[in-house]
């Protein structure tokens, strides 16, 4: 672009030049600033408030859905941690999960023939445990896949059709940025009469990667609109203190 300023008085030249430069910089910056309305997965605060029971709080500080995902991935993709989870940690966790699943089988919420999904399964210790106790048709989902036990999938938008599973387990409810979507997806992919077991933390604030804080089981009951609450019991499960069992109602 040619800027022709020779006829202007000498003093005005730097003024017009800096004015032109400022306008150019401002135009450039406005193109770089992220616009919330363009991010389809960001939910307006108002919608969040309307959908949430009062005893469930979304943690502030996530500027966008991408920022939330990035925070989750920072830990899950850490190579040193993945090495530990798949070696030193493996047996200890599979053993503890196996006891929980054996117990659920005894209470007749889980059977060898149950088609089972584990949500937020990371490297799949809980899926390995399901298989160990005889529930062979089991798979997990996580943002990062770990084949063959764990497929890639966001629990806010499960990569499955409707009414696929007899049993769904998760100990990562606190990682849901949109808890009503987390629950809605479970109720969509569970068969009628299917069982959902959640391990949650009620007594204190969950870890720093959590996206929500849950203060009572009542909040879960409000979110599980198509299910009935069957059982609540205290547990000691990797820092989580309560096991909650829901059954999807038959139509």
DSSP secondary structure code for residue 61 in this structure:
-
198 sits in which H/E element: strand 190-200
CB within 8 Å of 129: residues ≥ 6 apart: 93, 94, 95, 97, 98, 100, 101
* Structure tokens given for 77: 């993709």
Strand, coil or helix: what is 123? Answer: coil
Touching ligand SAM, residues 22-51 (CB under 6 A): none
Asked if 125 is part of the footprint of ligand SAM (rule: CB under 6 A), the reply reads yes
Asked if 181 is part of the footprint of ligand SAM (rule: CB under 6 A), the reply reads no
What's the CA gap between 86 and 94, in Å, rounded? 11
CB within 8 Å of 194: residues ≥ 6 apart: 163, 165, 166, 167, 168, 247, 248
Pick between residue 18 and residue 78 the one whose CB is nearest to ligand SAM.
78
Stretch that binds ligand SAM, among 28-36, 56-64, 100-108, 150-158 (CB under 6 A): 150-158
Minimum Å gap between C-beta 186 and ligand SAM is: 12
Backbone φ, ψ for residue 228 (5° rounding): -115, 145
Touching ligand SAM, residues 186-245 (CB under 6 A): 238
**How many C-beta neighbours within 10 Å does residue 217 have?**
16
* Structure tokens given for 5: 């300023």
Asked if 184 is part of the footprint of ligand SAM (rule: CB under 6 A), the reply reads no
Asked if 171 is part of the footprint of ligand SAM (rule: CB under 6 A), the reply reads yes
Binding residue (CB under 6 A) for ligand SAM from 56, 58, 120, 179: 120
> With contacts defined by CB under 6 A, how many residues of the chain interact with ligand SAM?
19
Closest residue to ligand SAM using C-beta atoms: 120
Binding letters toward ligand SAM, positions 84-103, x by CB under 6 A? ---------x----------
Minimum Å gap between C-beta 78 and ligand SAM is: 11
State the residues that interact with ligand SAM by CB under 6 A: 72, 76, 93, 120-122, 125-126, 141-144, 154-156, 171-172, 175, 238
């Amino acid at each position: 672009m040619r800027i022709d300023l020779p006829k202007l008085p000498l003093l005005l030249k730097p003024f017009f030049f800096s004015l032109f430069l400022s306008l150019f910089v401002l135009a450039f910056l406005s193109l770089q600033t992220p616009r919330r309305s363009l991010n389809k997965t960001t939910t307006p605060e108002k919608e969040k408030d309307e959908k949430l029971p009062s005893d469930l709080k979304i943690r502030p500080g996530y500027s966008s859905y991408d920022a939330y995902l990035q925070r989750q991935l920072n830990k899950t993709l850490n190579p040193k941690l993945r090495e530990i989870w798949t070696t030193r940690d493996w047996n200890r966790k599979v053993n503890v999960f196996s006891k929980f699943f054996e117990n659920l089988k005894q209470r007749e919420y889980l059977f060898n023939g149950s088609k089972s999904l584990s949500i937020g399964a990371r490297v799949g210790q809980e899926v390995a445990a399901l298989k160990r106790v005889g529930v062979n048709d089991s798979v997990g989902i996580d943002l990062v896949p770990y084949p063959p036990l764990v497929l890639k999938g966001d629990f806010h938008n499960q990569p499955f059709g409707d009414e696929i599973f007899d049993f769904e387990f998760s100990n990562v409810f606190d990682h849901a940025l949109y808890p009503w979507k987390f629950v809605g997806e479970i109720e969509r992919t569970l068969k009628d009469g299917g069982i959902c077991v959640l391990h949650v933390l009620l007594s204190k604030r969950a870890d720093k990667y959590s996206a929500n804080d849950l203060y009572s089981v009542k909040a879960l009951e409000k979110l599980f609109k198509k299910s009935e609450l069957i059982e609540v019991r205290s547990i000691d499960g990797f820092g989580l203190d309560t096991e909650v069992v829901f059954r999807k109602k038959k139509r």
